Structure 1
Amino acid sequence: MSVTPLAAHSNTQQPAPAFRGRIGRDERSGHYAVPRRYRLHLTTACADGLRIAVAHSLLGLDDVCPATFLPAIPDCADGGRAALRPLYDASVHRYAGPALAPVLSDDWSGRIVSTHAPDITRDLARRFGGCRLELYPCGAESEIEAVERMCAQDIEEAAQAAGAAGVERAERDEALGTLLRALGALDRWLDGREYLIRDQITAADVELWVTLVQLDTVHRHHLDAAAVQRVAAHATLWAYARRLAAHPAFGAHLDLDAISRRHHARCRGLEDAGAAVQILDWAAHAAAGTGTRAQVERP
């Protein structure tokens, strides 16, 4: 199946992550796939952590690769986390940057393998996923990458620009137009489909669902009511988000209070004075239960 409406997006320029180790097939890779050797350190209050947590649950990796869940708000002045500092210090001599999540660590060495969320998710799926679920089906990589680019540029970046304070109205309108065109393309694409690119959940669905959560719980605060009404008008797209929220692997990790606390700790003033009413009642649609968290730390 082709995803023509989702293609043709250039790469987003982002700072390189601090660590880019990969889990390989054998000893020659340095970090080879051994059950219970690796550990995740996540906060589901951030988009990257939520994506990894959902994928981790879909793949059923609680015993294979345990996860430690961190509080929503960092506890260090530089925006890092004290709990992760020993891993960073063990991995780089005199590491000067903040100790950020997400982290995939190696329990054998006490060092960090990767802090790059897309690599972490792919390695978990390919090295430990087994036959439970193919998050990256054969032949679907280019489609998944197209969805990732669309979510990053045409939804997340556009939503931020559309609500940025101190920016000319014409620039905000242009960004809003980009956002609405992307949502419209996705809305039409999902008409008659349960999932985004296959007849089962894939990494593309995880990517898009987390992006829609962020759009409604974070970026909405930057937009006025009229803009949010136009965003909410894509009924098929939001029905898709609602269906996935009811799936245990998605809804069990949806901590709305943590997302809100993290957002308000980072963003105040005019840029946080947008629409007050959410598009979806996420809590009502999220799956019941406590989820599959290995360890939950509350601030």
Structure 2
Amino acid sequence: MSVTPQAAAHPATRPAVAFRGRIGRDRRSGHYAVPRRYRLHLSTACPQGLAIAVTHSLLSIGDTCPVTFLPAVPDCPDGHAALRPLYEASAHHYQGPALAPVLSDDWSGRIVSTHAPDIMRDLDEHFGDGRAALYPRAAEAALRDVERLCARDIDEAAQRAGRADAEPEERAEALETLLAALGELDRRLTGHDHVMGDQLSVADVVLWVALVQLDTVHRHHLDAHAVHRVADHPALWAHARRLTAHPAFGAHLDLDGIARRHHAGCRGLEAAGSAVQILDWAAHADGARPAHRP
């Protein structure tokens, strides 16, 4: 298992620790793929936790790898109190924040991984039934391209486009990067049911979470004209509506929790785009199974 420094998220201010153990891959750690040995600790108000929760539901592995859901906003100044014992058992004299998501080993009481992409891949590879793999091997490179596009050109670009302390030219450039990414994905989805064609894959999960963040968080810091331009991608947002009605997606959509997490950590200024909602997420999630969240 490797442990490396990682930037802390609100409300913690001290450096966190990233754990990168892999199920069935790290011989030194002994993390073999044993049913009910591992547990997920997730807050679905967090985009990484939401992506893992959706993946977990799509794989139907609730009996194989149980989930403990955490509050939208951490209950302590340095993270989640429930995760503190796991962090302290996993890193000597650990003084950093106890943040989610976490994949823990119930046998040892220690953390295996806090890295969402690794966790999602390992769940699919080692605990899925293989009949509807979310990581089709023939599309590995394309999947990674979509992951990078969503992280860099949608999420990061949207944050830069809404920064009140940035120069107008910087915000405009970031907005164009965001719109170019949305345009590329809109073209991918035109005439297709999913990002990778006809098969539901992790690319759909990652994109859906990015669009949730874009409309429920980042939109509040964009001007109204920018939000209208973001919304002008019909195939993309139609895809988001369809996925939200899917039980594995919509049942985990905690809009109140996302709002509370945003307000707890946001230091930016609200802009006119806050009044221009792109999707009525709650209405589209009505057909999904209800999911309780603390």
TM over 0.5: yes
Structure 1 position 269, deviation (Å):
5.0
- Which residue identity does 1:110 align to in structure 2? G
CA-to-partner distance for each residue in 1:13-68, whole Å, 9 max, x for gaps? x7595200000069776100000000000000010000000000000010000000
Q: Which residue of structure 2 aligns with residue 53 of structure 1?
A: 53
The verdict on how the C-alpha distance between 1:214 and 1:167 changes in structure 2, with shifts beyond 3 A counting, is same
The separation in 2 between residues aligned to 1:168 and 1:271, in whole angstroms, is: 17
Greater mean deviation of Cα atoms: 270-279 or 51-60:
270-279
Q: Where do 4+ consecutive residues of structure 1 move more than 3 Å?
A: 14-17, 25-29, 271-274
Question: The residue matched to 2:137 in structure 1 has which SS?
Answer: coil
Runs (5+) with no aligned partner, structure 1: 1-13
Question: The residue matched to 2:146 in structure 1 has which SS?
Answer: helix
Q: Which residue of structure 2 aligns with residue 267 of structure 1?
A: 266
Q: Which residue of structure 2 aligns with residue 276 of structure 1?
A: 275
Q: Which residue of structure 2 aligns with residue 66 of structure 1?
A: 66
The separation in 2 between residues aligned to 1:239 and 1:290, in whole angstroms, is: 22
Structure 1 position 277, deviation (Å):
2.7
Q: TM-score, normalised by structure 2?
A: 0.91
Q: Does structure 2 retain, via aligned residues, the 8 Å contact 1:224–1:274?
A: yes
Q: Which residue of structure 1 aligns with residue 12 of structure 2?
A: none
Q: Which residue of structure 1 aligns with residue 190 of structure 2?
A: 191
The separation in 2 between residues aligned to 1:49 and 1:273, in whole angstroms, is: 29
Q: Does structure 2 retain, via aligned residues, the 8 Å contact 1:58–1:133?
A: no
CA-to-partner distance for each residue in 1:172-219, whole Å, 9 max, x for gaps? 001001111111111112110000113121011101010001000000
Report sequence identity in percent.
71
> Where in structure 2 are the equivalents of 1:30-109 lying within 5 Å?
30-78=30-78, 80-109=79-108
The separation in 2 between residues aligned to 1:28 and 1:167, in whole angstroms, is: 46
Q: Does structure 2 retain, via aligned residues, the 8 Å contact 1:164–1:271?
A: no
Q: Which residue of structure 2 aligns with residue 172 of structure 1?
A: 171
Structure 1 position 270, deviation (Å):
1.6
Q: Which residue of structure 1 aligns with residue 13 of structure 2?
A: none
CA-to-partner distance for each residue in 1:261-294, whole Å, 9 max, x for gaps? 1001111452566422310001111133224x7x
- Which residue identity does 1:185 align to in structure 2? E
- Which residue identity does 2:256 align to in structure 1? D
Q: Which residue of structure 1 aligns with residue 257 of structure 2?
A: 258
Greater mean deviation of Cα atoms: 218-227 or 17-26:
17-26
Q: Which residue of structure 1 aligns with residue 213 of structure 2?
A: 214
CA-to-partner distance for each residue in 1:231-262, whole Å, 9 max, x for gaps? 00111110011011111100110010000110
The separation in 2 between residues aligned to 1:28 and 1:85, in whole angstroms, is: 24
Q: Does structure 2 retain, via aligned residues, the 8 Å contact 1:183–1:231?
A: yes
The separation in 2 between residues aligned to 1:46 and 1:288, in whole angstroms, is: 20
Q: TM-score, normalised by structure 1?
A: 0.89
- Which residue identity does 2:50 align to in structure 1? L
The verdict on how the C-alpha distance between 1:84 and 1:189 changes in structure 2, with shifts beyond 3 A counting, is same
Q: Does structure 1 retain, via aligned residues, the 8 Å contact 2:158–2:175?
A: yes
- Which residue identity does 2:21 align to in structure 1? G
The separation in 2 between residues aligned to 1:77 and 1:251, in whole angstroms, is: 30
Question: The residue matched to 1:64 in structure 2 has which SS?
Answer: coil
Q: Which residue of structure 2 aligns with residue 134 of structure 1?
A: 133
- Which residue identity does 2:64 align to in structure 1? V
Counterpart check, 1:115 vs 2:103: no
Question: The residue matched to 1:118 in structure 2 has which SS?
Answer: helix
Q: Does structure 2 retain, via aligned residues, the 8 Å contact 1:45–1:259?
A: yes
The verdict on how the C-alpha distance between 1:164 and 1:148 changes in structure 2, with shifts beyond 3 A counting, is same
Q: Does structure 2 retain, via aligned residues, the 8 Å contact 1:40–1:105?
A: yes
Q: Does structure 2 retain, via aligned residues, the 8 Å contact 1:42–1:103?
A: yes
- Which residue identity does 1:165 align to in structure 2? A
Say how many residue pairs are matched. Answer: 280
Q: Does structure 2 retain, via aligned residues, the 8 Å contact 1:187–1:234?
A: yes
Structure 1 position 81, deviation (Å):
0.8
The separation in 1 between residues aligned to 2:234 and 2:255, in whole angstroms, is: 22
Structure 1 position 139, deviation (Å):
1.6
The separation in 1 between residues aligned to 2:140 and 2:192, in whole angstroms, is: 19
Structure 1 position 77, deviation (Å):
1.4
- Which residue identity does 2:36 align to in structure 1? R
Structure 1 position 166, deviation (Å):
1.2
